[in-house]
Chains A and B, each alone.
Chain A
Amino acid sequence: MIATVQVPFIRGGAEAHAEGLRNALCAAGHEAEIVAVPFKWYPPEKILDHMLACRLLDLTEVAGTPVDLLIGLRFPAYLIPHPNKVIWILHQHRTAYELWDHALGDLITWPHGAQVRDAIRQADRQLIPQARAVFANSRNVADRLKKFCYIEAAPLYHPPPHAEEFYCAEAEDYFFFPSRLCLPKRQSLVVEALARTRQPVRVVFAGAADHASIRKELSSLAAKLKVQKRVQWLDRVTEKEKRRLYAHALAVVYPPLDEDYGYVTLEAMLSSKAALTCADSGGPLEFVRDGETGLVAAATPESLAAAMDELWKDREGARRMGEAGRAAYEGMNISWSHVVDRLLA
């Protein structure tokens, strides 16, 4: 049984992750099912209600058939009790941890935010170690768990969905930035960087907005900075179209804030494209080797603009980095069969 949470109508990497794991378990001859608990995080006491709801669920057996293993992926679903539980943490409730005192933090803006923060931390510290084994989605997630909860976890990488279908084609004149439009992904940083480039850099953004207002704000920002003709907003695209956009991109730009893992970096590598990220981007830094498989810029519009200019001018360099990225991916043993072996060991 795979335990995760679902924010209704929001679909991102976490959902693909759970589905990928289920498919891999089935492919390995197991019966596997996803149990997704709906999740709402405001007002903050709702978080506590969801934590309690998870603790009250019984997934030890179904109609007399025992559930041999529970794999917990996301907070608070990974708190669901089970005598044989493995936790593979995608991420904790981040606004109770590294995003608590951060511009993106929302928990801190509530009167009783500190209470709920402490309750989340207490529950994580108390209950995560009850699992038979604890894995993290990435080194970044493992480091946070160690830093805030003093719990060791082994990083366990997995491939992005349809990894085998990514390909490389002749580069065209654009950077590709596929992601949901939301503050943590920092599309606005890229728009601001565009205004500072010296080359006629273009960026194609693909991904649905978390809120309609975000899309409007980004369009307004592009207009204000007079770069609207150098950006393209494609909103949601099909997986096939996404792979085509990767394949023809000059490079991939992906500067999120402290990303947990980040499929985009891996997809860039699978498409043999250089990845441009930032020094505070978290997960992508586990894969992008600066100057070899991509570039790592400071998280400022100026630094990001300089890196974009560099790749725009040096097409051959960009191509070489892309190829090096693909080779690096091949050498990392990132596969579902490896994941299944580790989780079931």
Chain B
Amino acid sequence: MKLNWFSPLPPAGTDIAQFTLRVLPALRRALGGGAVTVWTDQDKWDEKQLAGVDVRRYRSGAVPWMEINKADLSVFNIGNNAQFHGAIWQISRQHPGLIILHDTHLHHLFYHLYVEQWQDAKEYLRQIAKYYGEAGRRDAARRMHNVAQEVYYLSEQYPLTPLALENSLGALVHSPVAFDLLRRARRWPLAYAPLPFPAAPLLEAPGSLERFSSGPPFQLILFGYIGRNRQLGAILQALAEFEEREQFRLHIYGELTDQEHWAAQIRELGLRRLVQLRGFVPEAKLDAALSAAHLAINLRYPTMGEASGSQLRIWSHALPSLVSETGWLATLPAAAVAFVRPSNEVADLQAHFRDFLSDPQRFQQIGEQGRRVLLEQHAPDVYARALIECAQMAERFRPQLIARQMAERAGTKLASMLKVNTPDMAASKVGCEIRELLISANTGD
């Protein structure tokens, strides 16, 4: 089987680029080195990390379809960031393939594309109406003018995920929650495979094992793209109001939305000595920081729904973590994380800080259990096999997708011709013939 792989690539500042680096070696092992062609619209990519991989460029408006069609199937990595996934989604719309959903709420992606990039609010609202009815359209129209405040509400109410899948041959998700959510639609072949992450040998991460024998101050770490849903305000408040705050240091790595605001907040709360904004650092430096840390904070509320690569990275370092009890994070084994209830962040964080100070070894065990989960469930080779099975399933779905599209086209024509919405006899005849044409009697597909 030959696959096209559409994904952001390093050095793009998204964990999905790192995900591709984690999966590709296993996928190439399973399929043979030449069987995967990676496509990107980036001007540059990290040639060292992608050495030996067949990477090709495409440009919107001049897509080399002939080359793309030479593969058996295209795999599209879709997430919420329009900068990284806008072009990929547009290709997937024209050229049906398998979608790997990195978020189950994709409202951000489509809001950015339609409203901000294309300045087409009318089409954005039309899409909302298509999936959520006229009431949804009116609600979104009212709230979109205050999007900074309403974006999470809009994402929760109108995730628009079906729009990402409407011309797809199937979807692969990384959490049971996402699987259950999408299964209800019954429109696409759907599969679940735990997000892959190759566990680094602990010996290569000096300090991982000994970290809990070192005393206070204990190092807290928060990393990644720090948007509003990462609950930084609650974390700072919890720390500022915690009586034994001097026992902790908080290191924040990654891109912060509104950095100046947070720097001011840290000053106002008197946390300058305890909280460090470290910015975006090379991967190796981040790994060293994770190895040296005692406790990670990985809150995501509201959640975009899908598995968090950051959590796997935390586990890779056998690092205990505090996570939101929502979405995929809520499905994690209780022995491998410590939960923080949504909307109760300050109290729960402080309770965990107290527990940590009284019994750091219990948290050490939580970190070690997390690493065991990682090793057992998130091996890239297992993921690659699941992905190939999913790709084969998607290939088999092609006739059904074509049949559905033909039926929709024919239905539209019939409705316009007969001026009724349900031209039963004619529609039934057309449906039977489409089935006869395209659906194999032998397989019952």
| Chain A interface residues (CB < 8 Å from chain B) | 45, 48-49, 51-52, 55-56, 79, 101, 105, 108-116, 118-119, 122-123, 125-127
Find out whether the CB atom of A122 lies under 8 angstroms from the CB atom of B95: no
B423-445 interface code vs A (CB 8 A; 1 in, 0 out): 00000011001101111110000
The answer to whether A126 and B70 touch (CB under 8 A), given A45-B409, A52-B406, A112-B96, is no
**B396 and chain A: residue at smallest CB distance:** A118
Given A79-B437, A116-B402, A123-B437, 14 further pairs, Cβ under 8 A: A45-B405, A49-B409, A52-B433, A55-B433, A101-B70, A105-B66, A111-B65, A112-B94, A112-B96, A115-B398, A115-B402, A123-B438, A126-B436, A126-B441
Taken together as a complex, chains A and B put the C-alpha atoms of A115 and B409 apart, in Å, by: 16
Taken together as a complex, chains A and B put the C-alpha atoms of A115 and B402 apart, in Å, by: 7
**A119 and chain B: residue at smallest CB distance:** B402
Find out whether the CB atom of B69 lies under 8 angstroms from the CB atom of A108: yes
Task: Please name all residues of chain A whose beta carbon is closer than 8 Å to the beta carbon of B433 when the two chains form the complex.
Answer: 52, 55-56
Find out whether the CB atom of A108 lies under 8 angstroms from the CB atom of B66: yes
State the majority secondary structure of interface residues on B: helix
Find out whether the CB atom of B65 lies under 8 angstroms from the CB atom of A109: yes
Taken together as a complex, chains A and B put the C-alpha atoms of A126 and B402 apart, in Å, by: 15
A113 touches which of B65, B436, B440 (Cβ 8 Å): B65
Taken together as a complex, chains A and B put the C-alpha atoms of A52 and B429 apart, in Å, by: 11
Find out whether the CB atom of A118 lies under 8 angstroms from the CB atom of B402: yes
Asked if B410 CB lies within 8 Å of chain A CBs, one says: yes
**B72 and chain A: residue at smallest CB distance:** A114
Find out whether the CB atom of A48 lies under 8 angstroms from the CB atom of B70: no
How far apart are A131's CB and chain B's nearest CB, in angstroms? 14
Find out whether the CB atom of B440 lies under 8 angstroms from the CB atom of A126: yes
**B68 and chain A: residue at smallest CB distance:** A111
Identify the interface centre among A108, A112, A113, A127: most chain B CB within 10 Å of its CB. A112
**A117 and chain B: residue at smallest CB distance:** B69
Q: Which 7 A-B pairs have the closest CB atoms?
A: A111-B94, A55-B433, A111-B95, A119-B402, A108-B69, A118-B398, A123-B437
Taken together as a complex, chains A and B put the C-alpha atoms of A55 and B434 apart, in Å, by: 8
Task: Please name all residues of chain B whose beta carbon is closer than 8 Å to the beta carbon of A56 when the two chains form the complex.
Answer: 429-430, 433
Find out whether the CB atom of B70 lies under 8 angstroms from the CB atom of A108: yes
Find out whether the CB atom of B410 lies under 8 angstroms from the CB atom of A122: no
How far apart are A90's CB and chain B's nearest CB, in angstroms? 20
Find out whether the CB atom of B398 lies under 8 angstroms from the CB atom of A52: no
How far apart are B405's CB and chain A's nearest CB, in angstroms? 8
Find out whether the CB atom of B96 lies under 8 angstroms from the CB atom of A115: yes
Find out whether the CB atom of B65 lies under 8 angstroms from the CB atom of A52: no
Find out whether the CB atom of A119 lies under 8 angstroms from the CB atom of B65: no
How far apart are B9's CB and chain A's nearest CB, in angstroms? 22
State the majority secondary structure of interface residues on A: helix
Task: Please name all residues of chain A whose beta carbon is closer than 8 Å to the beta carbon of B405 when the two chains form the complex.
Answer: 45
Task: Please name all residues of chain B whose beta carbon is closer than 8 Å to the beta carbon of A123 when the two chains form the complex.
Answer: 437-438
Find out whether the CB atom of A52 lies under 8 angstroms from the CB atom of B69: no
Identify the interface centre among B96, B402, B409, B410: most chain A CB within 10 Å of its CB. B402
Asked if B399 CB lies within 8 Å of chain A CBs, one says: yes
The answer to whether A108 and B402 touch (CB under 8 A), given A56-B429, A56-B433, is no
Task: Please name all residues of chain B whose beta carbon is closer than 8 Å to the beta carbon of A111 when the two chains form the complex.
Answer: 63, 65, 91, 94-95
A51 touches which of B95, B437, B439 (Cβ 8 Å): B437
Taken together as a complex, chains A and B put the C-alpha atoms of A55 and B401 apart, in Å, by: 19
**B436 and chain A: residue at smallest CB distance:** A55
Task: Please name all residues of chain B whose beta carbon is closer than 8 Å to the beta carbon of A112 when the two chains form the complex.
Answer: 94-96
B410 touches which of A52, A109, A115 (Cβ 8 Å): A52
How far apart are B391's CB and chain A's nearest CB, in angstroms? 13
Find out whether the CB atom of A114 lies under 8 angstroms from the CB atom of B69: yes
Find out whether the CB atom of B430 lies under 8 angstroms from the CB atom of A52: yes
Task: Please name all residues of chain A whose beta carbon is closer than 8 Å to the beta carbon of B402 when the two chains form the complex.
Answer: 48, 115-116, 118-119
24 contacts between A and B (CB under 8 A): A48-B402, A48-B406, A51-B437, A52-B433, A56-B429, A56-B430, A105-B66, A108-B65, A108-B70, A111-B63, A112-B96, A114-B95, A115-B96, A115-B398, A115-B402, A118-B398, A118-B399, A118-B402, A119-B438, A122-B399, A122-B439, A123-B437, A123-B438, A127-B437
Find out whether the CB atom of B69 lies under 8 angstroms from the CB atom of A113: yes
Find out whether the CB atom of B436 lies under 8 angstroms from the CB atom of A127: yes
Taken together as a complex, chains A and B put the C-alpha atoms of A49 and B384 apart, in Å, by: 38
Find out whether the CB atom of B399 lies under 8 angstroms from the CB atom of A119: yes
Taken together as a complex, chains A and B put the C-alpha atoms of A122 and B438 apart, in Å, by: 6
Task: Please name all residues of chain A whose beta carbon is closer than 8 Å to the beta carbon of B439 when the two chains form the complex.
Answer: 122
Taken together as a complex, chains A and B put the C-alpha atoms of A49 and B436 apart, in Å, by: 14
B55-94 interface code vs A (CB 8 A; 1 in, 0 out): 0000000010110011000000000000000000001001
How far apart are B438's CB and chain A's nearest CB, in angstroms? 5
Task: Please name all residues of chain B whose beta carbon is closer than 8 Å to the beta carbon of A127 when the two chains form the complex.
Answer: 436-437
Taken together as a complex, chains A and B put the C-alpha atoms of A55 and B94 apart, in Å, by: 27
Taken together as a complex, chains A and B put the C-alpha atoms of A110 and B94 apart, in Å, by: 9
Taken together as a complex, chains A and B put the C-alpha atoms of A159 and B95 apart, in Å, by: 44
How far apart are B306's CB and chain A's nearest CB, in angstroms? 27
Taken together as a complex, chains A and B put the C-alpha atoms of A127 and B438 apart, in Å, by: 9
**A51 and chain B: residue at smallest CB distance:** B437
Task: Please name all residues of chain A whose beta carbon is closer than 8 Å to the beta carbon of B429 when the two chains form the complex.
Answer: 56
Identify the interface centre among B63, B406, B430: most chain A CB within 10 Å of its CB. B406
Taken together as a complex, chains A and B put the C-alpha atoms of A113 and B71 apart, in Å, by: 12
How far apart are A109's CB and chain B's nearest CB, in angstroms? 5
Task: Please name all residues of chain A whose beta carbon is closer than 8 Å to the beta carbon of B65 when the two chains form the complex.
Answer: 108-111, 113
The answer to whether A119 and B437 touch (CB under 8 A), given A45-B409, A49-B409, A111-B63, is yes
How far apart are B433's CB and chain A's nearest CB, in angstroms? 4
**B71 and chain A: residue at smallest CB distance:** A114
**A107 and chain B: residue at smallest CB distance:** B69
How far apart are B74's CB and chain A's nearest CB, in angstroms? 9
Task: Please name all residues of chain B whose beta carbon is closer than 8 Å to the beta carbon of A45 when the two chains form the complex.
Answer: 405-406, 409
Identify the interface centre among A79, A123, A126: most chain B CB within 10 Å of its CB. A126
Taken together as a complex, chains A and B put the C-alpha atoms of A127 and B437 apart, in Å, by: 7
Identify the interface centre among B66, B401, B405: most chain A CB within 10 Å of its CB. B66
**B398 and chain A: residue at smallest CB distance:** A118
Taken together as a complex, chains A and B put the C-alpha atoms of A118 and B73 apart, in Å, by: 12
Task: Please name all residues of chain B whose beta carbon is closer than 8 Å to the beta carbon of A110 when the two chains form the complex.
Answer: 65
Taken together as a complex, chains A and B put the C-alpha atoms of A126 and B95 apart, in Å, by: 25
Identify the interface centre among A108, A113, A115: most chain B CB within 10 Å of its CB. A115
Task: Please name all residues of chain B whose beta carbon is closer than 8 Å to the beta carbon of A109 when the two chains form the complex.
Answer: 65-66, 69
Taken together as a complex, chains A and B put the C-alpha atoms of A140 and B128 apart, in Å, by: 53
**A125 and chain B: residue at smallest CB distance:** B440
**B95 and chain A: residue at smallest CB distance:** A111
How far apart are B214's CB and chain A's nearest CB, in angstroms? 57
Taken together as a complex, chains A and B put the C-alpha atoms of A324 and B7 apart, in Å, by: 63
Taken together as a complex, chains A and B put the C-alpha atoms of A112 and B401 apart, in Å, by: 11
Taken together as a complex, chains A and B put the C-alpha atoms of A114 and B399 apart, in Å, by: 11
How far apart are B407's CB and chain A's nearest CB, in angstroms? 9
* B392-413 residues at the A interface, CB under 8 angstroms: 398-399, 401-402, 405-406, 409-410
Taken together as a complex, chains A and B put the C-alpha atoms of A56 and B430 apart, in Å, by: 7
Taken together as a complex, chains A and B put the C-alpha atoms of A51 and B429 apart, in Å, by: 14
Task: Please name all residues of chain A whose beta carbon is closer than 8 Å to the beta carbon of B96 when the two chains form the complex.
Answer: 112, 115
Find out whether the CB atom of B69 lies under 8 angstroms from the CB atom of A55: no
The answer to whether A114 and B63 touch (CB under 8 A), given A48-B406, A79-B437, is no
